[in-house]
Amino acid sequence: MYLASIRANCFFAMVISRHGRAWRRWAIAFIRLFREFTRLSFGTKRRVWQLSEQHDARLFRGYICITYGEDYVMARVSEKVILVTGAARGMGAAHARLLIAEGARVVVTDILDADGGALAAELGNAALYVHQDVSEPKSWATAVAAAESTFGALHGLVNNAGVASMAPIEQFPLDQWNRTLAVNLTGVFLGIQAALPAIRRAGGGSIVNVSSVEGLRGSPGLHAYVASKFGVRGVTKSAALEGAAFGVRVNSVHPGLVTTAMSEGLDPALFPIPLGRAAQPLEVSQAVAFLLSDESSYMTGAEIVLDGGLTIGVPHKCAALEHMFS
């Protein structure tokens, strides 16, 4: 059912005469109505049509596009092949779903085979599930080879897989420290190493590394997680400097509190988030899709922070905002 809203426009894939103003008005009204229907029915608003004042309707790759006199491709990552790690559930699954909706073909990887396989089956022929331990170089070689053999190329990578553990620094177990860095940091390093030659063969592309607000500031108890996410932030910039020569952009996203299984049990009210809530996974996915798309063609080595304003102020105890200046 998820793909129905992506392809259902084929039901009205028609050519509308430039000379029939009434027909163009009818088509625009119909498209707006259908877009609202898909938003309500499938739970997410898809950026499908560019609506213009000129109401110029054109048939483009099977889609009706309403443009400002220029041809626009409906989907931001149309025909791109993207590998997403840790994609069986949570934020990774949200990334995969949105990328499929935006026209990509997606290689879903994880160690959770049942969940990953179910997601790929849900997403249809545009998705492929591959078992992958991101801390193992051979596993990376297998995943990249699967992307190229199945879909013909690799244009993008989302280094999303991550783990976290918490303990006071004096009692922090060494095995947890090593495991966290192996997945969160070494996994990103290995991913860049494995994907860069393939993306270069495809003529260039984009790598998105999922860091965190803990890659911008400290957090008690999350010592390995903080170290790994600061490391992701740093290797993003050094890799961007090298990748630029080959047309490969490398950027990082830094989510704050996101509503996923990893944050289950955390009360957003405990955090000084100016917007007053946790993010939904799709809100992070929108930034990921932007960085994978050609819309971000002049961005590399950059950071996008998605934290509801959590890191923009100096936290302190004070009166409620409405009483602060009275």
Taking 70 as the pLDDT cut, the residues of the chain under it are 1-74, 263-265, 316-326
Helix or strand or coil: residue 108?
strand
pLDDT for 51 equals 32
Per-residue tokens: 259: 């509503």
Helix or strand or coil: residue 90?
helix
All structural domains of the chain with their residue ranges: 2-68, 81-306
Nearest alpha-carbon partner for 96 in 48, 128, 73? 128
Nearest alpha-carbon partner for 136 in 196, 186, 180, 209? 186
DSSP assignment string, 206-253 = EEEEE--GGGTS--TT-HHHHHHHHHHHHHHHHHHHHHGGGTEEEEEE
pLDDT for 218 equals 94
What's the CA gap between 314 and 326, in Å, rounded? 21
Q: Is the distance from CB of 309 to CB of 275 less than 8 angstroms?
A: yes
pLDDT for 149 equals 98
Nearest alpha-carbon partner for 82 in 204, 191, 207, 200? 207
How many beta carbons lie within 10 A of that of residue 263, not counting itself?
Answer: 17
* 156-159: strand order across its sheet: 127-131, 105-110, 81-84, 156-159, 205-210, 248-255, 303-306
pLDDT for 290 equals 98
How many beta carbons lie within 10 A of that of residue 50, not counting itself?
Answer: 15
68 is known as an active-site residue: no
pLDDT for 323 equals 55
Tokens 């078992």, residue?
A: 131
What's the CA gap between 227 and 214, in Å, rounded? 8
Q: Which fold has domain 81-306?
A: Rossmann fold (3.40.50)
All residues at 6 or more sequence positions from 259 whose CB lies less than 8 Å from its CB, including other chains? 278, 279, 280, 281
pLDDT for 23 equals 53
What's the CA gap between 222 and 10, in Å, rounded? 49
What's the CA gap between 162 and 224, in Å, rounded? 11
Active-site option among 63, 68, 129, 225: 225
pLDDT for 160 equals 98
Strand partners, 65: 58
Helix or strand or coil: residue 158?
strand
What's the CA gap between 233 and 125, in Å, rounded? 34
